[in-house]
Amino acid sequence: MRIPWFCFFAALSWPPCVHAQTNLTLLGIFSHSDPGAPPPYLRHEPIISKALDEVNADPRYLPGHTLQMQIIEPQECTTDNITRSTLMALQNNQDIVGIFGDSCLIGCETLSAIAEGFNRLAKSYYCQRPPGADYRFIVSTLGPSTQWVSVMGELAKAFKWNRFYLVTETYDDPLVEAMQAELQRVGVAEPNARTWVFETPGEAYDRTLAELLQHRPRVIVYNTKAPIATGMTCAFARAGITHKNKDPDSVQQPPVLIGLLDRGDDFNASPCTKEDLEPIVWGEMHFYAPVWPHLFAGSISHTFSGKDSRTTFNEFMGSCFASSPPVPCDPFRANYVYDTVWEWAVLLHEWFDSGNTLADLENPNRTTLDWFWQENLNLNYVGFSQAVSYLSNGDRASDVIVFQTFGADQQASDFDAFPFLIGSFATGSYIWPPPNYLGPIQWPDGTFYWGFNSSGTLFNSTPPVCPEGHYVNTTGRCVPCPVGEANDQVDQWECEPCQDGFYQNKTGQSECDICPTGQFSKPHAVDCTLCEPGSYQDLVAQSECNICPVGSFSNTTGAKECILCPPGTYQPDLNSTRCLSCLATKTTARIGSRSIDERTCVEGMFLDIKNDRCISCDSSRYTGLDCVGTGGMYQLPLLQQNYWAEIVEDKSDFSDIEVYRCLEVDACPGP
């Protein structure tokens, strides 16, 4: 007889070591998949302790032996953590005769290799074998996800559902592809099984829900554990979407929620209260292999323990609430935990009863492992988790029960508050409950469906069209496009902002209006903007106004064109609102003058270029000049016929002129 090293650590072994017996130890692995949650093993400790007590008190099984469990708790569900802690335990304790598997998918994959390497069978109460996965020498006490996929297909076919969306925790979960293939097989429209990965809690849940609701799903399937499922439920609560009311502005009914792993009602791990979560999970559908105390089980006794499931569950829940502080028990998996402990007891009993020895068990080889593997596949019994049998690959072949819950939460102690059976899946077909059994399916809109005679509402209609001029917002409501936006298509997730040169000052419009000449607009415009003085726009649908060029101006808002400076004015600058006037004796020779250099003298005067002044030709000393106004900077006055003057060599120095009459007629022909 050997006293194991860990017997001195009472907190880690159940029951206390009995030195008169030979100890057989199961290695229990409970990794922290959620570091913020209570230690996982605490959620199962009462039921594990009860099962071990009952095994060790039953003289039919393992006489002369004490079955106990050593607990290890990898702090995070990673391959390295689980491998390191598991190998250390196996190397340090030869009494370990089997592995009580982990609670995360990575753990399942890791334990398969460890089980084969150490020739010890691993049994997991949680591990799911995804489609295509090959976990050798690890048996799952929970029905495989392939059965869940088949159930989803059968329900989709029965209810003619469409718009499926799957929320899971990993990108590469083969369940996504399997779900898509199954929905396509049964002819579901839009089999949108897809994956969302949660990077950070809280904000990620709201963002994911907003994405989901814009797709207007009819069915949302959770393949997540309680913390994430609850995070999504809490996001529903924050968005004000419940299954107890119908938002009149919504283009969809609240979607049918289906939970494959956990319900989203763990208010202890959520910022939402129980009152917040209850209206969301009300009516939620769940797939489980276990039999709740009032579903099928009734007074049926466990094959090995002979215990009634209801009695054991009430004791289990009572121990959870009696502790101080109360232990956050896990009633949803307690069935599996209880059955797994008893399966190990039966397998080990058969080992000794077949003439095998403790020495062979403590130094196992491949033959030992093959024996346990095959013996496990031969198990066929009534457990707390329904009829239990195994397929050749180690998958559990148990049925899947589909039920609805109405207002219950997983912390409840009154099991009468728990689910209403709406059917079960076995041998490839869906079985409806008899007409007098529990009740019909109740949909989120308050309608009912009775499966046994296919009467009532199927809840399969396509969501009503969200028309042009509207969009589906992030709460699933069909709302009018806001001002500055428009939408010319149906069932859109957003309206398009009005582009440059367009505007919309009304809500619910299918197109934006065009800005006329003299106006402009930027994106998202509610109105067009008039061109400011000094600018203009002669085209429609423009994003800006043009500035008036030199020699022109505009002095009003909304100008469609600029005005050229009239004679006597000029403008050397851009973007002007007026022209500059010439001096009283000066003018410009044309419209649109740009420079002061274009000034000239009015008719009857000539330009004193040197002094930049105009001189009247009316003076008697300028008799003989023809002053019609000068048209250029250096244009001199003209001589009349029979008059002459000296030639001006340097026009820039011209200031005055001496005019003489010709002595001979026709000697001076004039201009």
| Distance, CA of 89 to CA of 666 (rounded, Å) | 136
* Average per-residue pLDDT for the chain: 76
The architecture that CATH gives domain 531-600 is: Ribbon (2.10)
| Placement of tokens 């009633």 in the chain | 331
The token pair at 468 is: 């042009």
Domain boundaries for CATH 2.10.50.10 within the chain: 531-600
Give the pLDDT confidence score for residue 437 in this predicted structure. Answer: 53
325-340 pLDDT, tens digit per residue, is 666 666 656 777 888 8
The architecture that CATH gives domain 145-288+401-456 is: 3-Layer(aba) Sandwich (3.40)
Give the pLDDT confidence score for residue 13 in this predicted structure. Answer: 40
Name the amino acid, one letter, at 194.
Answer: R
CA atoms within 13 A on the CB side of 135: 26
Residues 6+ apart with CB under 8 A from 11: none
Give the pLDDT confidence score for residue 145 in this predicted structure. Answer: 62
23-58 pLDDT, tens digit per residue, is 999 998 887 666 566 666 666 777 888 899 999 999
Nearest CA-CA partner of 212 in 198, 91, 173:
198
Beta carbons of 277 and 267 less than 8 angstroms apart: yes
169-178, 284-293, 626-635, 656-665 — most confident range: 656-665
Q: Are strands 164-168 and 138-140 parallel, antiparallel or unpaired?
A: unpaired
82-97 pLDDT, tens digit per residue, is 888 888 998 888 789 9
- The four Cα atoms 301, 306, 312, 315 give a dihedral, to 10 degrees, of 140
Domain boundaries for CATH 3.40.50.2300 within the chain: 5-142+299-381, 145-288+401-456
Nearest CA-CA partner of 592 in 561, 560, 559, 567:
567
* CA distances for 10 relative to 4, 18, 47, 363, 471, angstroms: 12, 12, 17, 26, 62
| Placement of tokens 């066929």 in the chain | 380
- The four Cα atoms 545, 549, 553, 559 give a dihedral, to 10 degrees, of -20
530-564 pLDDT, tens digit per residue, is 999 999 999 999 999 999 999 999 999 999 999 99
| Placement of tokens 């009154």 in the chain | 414
Give the pLDDT confidence score for residue 295 in this predicted structure. Answer: 45
| Placement of tokens 């999970």 in the chain | 281
| Distance, CA of 179 to CA of 221 (rounded, Å) | 10
DSSP collapsed to 3 states, 510-554 = CCCEECCCCEECCCCCCCCEECCCCEECCCCCCCCCEECCCCEEC
| Distance, CA of 421 to CA of 371 (rounded, Å) | 38
| Distance, CA of 590 to CA of 607 (rounded, Å) | 17
Nearest CA-CA partner of 110 in 91, 130, 84, 90:
84
Does the domain spanning 5-142+299-381 belong to CATH 1.10.3720.10? no
- 456 pLDDT higher than 60: yes
